[in-house]
Amino acid sequence: MTASPVTQPLPGKAALDIPRIRLLSWLGLESVLWSLVIAHLVKWAVSFGYFAIWQVRYLVGYGTATFTVWYGKDWWDRLPVHVQNGLPGIVIAVAAVLAAVAAYRLARLARGNRVIAAIIAVLAGTAAGIVTGRLVTGWHVHWFPGQKTPLWWITWRHDIRDVGIVVIATIIVDFLFTKPKYPADDNPGLRVYLTSIPLAVGAALIPIAAVGVLAWKLPWLMRHGWQVPARYGSLAAEANGWIAAGTWITIAMGILGGLAAKLFIKRVADDVQWFFAERSAARVRSNKGLNALRGNRVIGTPAHRQRVHWLLDHTPSLPVRSPWLVRILLGAGFLSMAAAGAGAWLNLAGPAAPH
């Protein structure tokens, strides 16, 4: 009788018994409280990013002269007008980029090396830009009567920020209740990180656009009888008033957009959570400096604590990450918390605070 070889599981994989956090549990209720904290942190961080990019003028001085390095307020406040004025150039740029990408991919499929493929892409993009430029010469569009900001954009530019806040918060909060994968089963590299974000944004835009169309049609539907009947009394008044006020629009857009984006960013989100859990576990194991005073105490959401304690209790195979990916994740974590702190000051005591 001969013994057949047995495939050994990954070290510690059988012990990945981290249960999914149920909403109706103590950890679930704690996660809900953490969700409120995370939502405020996201709101403050995005608000500060919006303020820093679009509302602040950056100057450099030499002697008595000053020079503006960046001031995006006019560009963002009158974005539809700028798109109207620069539409021919935008069409040329899009055509050149699409042609260059297509040429590069075809050249690579034909087993050409990267240098040759890059040269072909540059030539194809240049040719497409020249041809498109000749086609759109003298092309002018007049969507707006003048150069002033359209009234609808005054509201939309702030709604875009609010929808972005809800999308990001929805993704983060949803992953508080997601069961982790074994850390070495999936090791997304830097390319996966860079491609997942635009795919997630594209997926989020689909339900956002659908809710936008619904919101656009709701006033018409309500004027033509589509509303909660008046016989329901105060319930009808509250529901119809809530729909007419429109406060639900950005919330619905953000939640549905976040749930759609999750499908394309779940690999990255799980890897990010393992990355910070690994660093927390390493600090707990360390006996140097302040780490010796903290002991085995782990601070964070229930999902984070579960991952850290599992890493401390087992010896799993951990993915080897690119040094650049490590730097990017650490930098993103630091900048996010710094932006949240600055945003808290901005919204509670700074220029955006209610006075």
- Distance of alpha carbon 119 from the chain centroid: 33
In a domain, 212, yes or no: yes
Q: Which of 79-88, 106-115, 154-163 has the lowest mean pLDDT?
A: 106-115
In a domain, 348, yes or no: no
Rounded to whole angstroms, the Cα distance separating 53 from 139 reads 31
In a domain, 237, yes or no: yes
Range of the domain at 187: 18-52+155-334
More confident residue, 169 or 180: 169
Lookup result for tokens 């150069």: 147
* 149-158 mean pLDDT: 86
Query: What's the farthest any 2 CA atoms get from each other in the chain?
Result: 93
Rounded to whole angstroms, the Cα distance separating 47 from 43 reads 6
pLDDT value, residue 353: 77
* 183-202 mean pLDDT: 81
pLDDT value, residue 295: 61
In a domain, 299, yes or no: yes
List, for residues 245-303, the tens digit of each pLDDT value.
677 788 889 999 999 998 888 888 888 888 888 888 888 877 666 655 566 678 888 88
Give the count of domains, the chain. Answer: 1
In a domain, 37, yes or no: yes
In a domain, 4, yes or no: no
In a domain, 119, yes or no: no
Q: Which of 73-87, 233-247, 287-301, 307-321 has the lowest mean pLDDT?
A: 287-301
pLDDT at 334 over 90: yes
Count the Cβ atoms, other than its own, within 10 Å of residue 32.
13
DSSP-assigned letter for residue 335:
H
List, for residues 339-350, the tens digit of each pLDDT value.
999 999 998 888
In a domain, 281, yes or no: yes
Give 217-278 as a DSSP string.
HHHHHHHTT-S--GGGTHHHHHHHHHHHH-HHHHHHHHHHHHHHHHHHHHHHHHHHHHHHHH
The answer to whether 175 and 118 are in contact (CB under 8 A) is: no
* 179-183 mean pLDDT: 76
pLDDT value, residue 12: 44
Q: Is the pTM value of this prediction over 0.75? A: yes
Helix (H, G, I), strand (E, B) or coil at 62: strand
Lookup result for tokens 């954009």: 153
List, for residues 6-15, the tens digit of each pLDDT value.
444 444 444 4
Rounded to whole angstroms, the Cα distance separating 186 from 287 reads 31
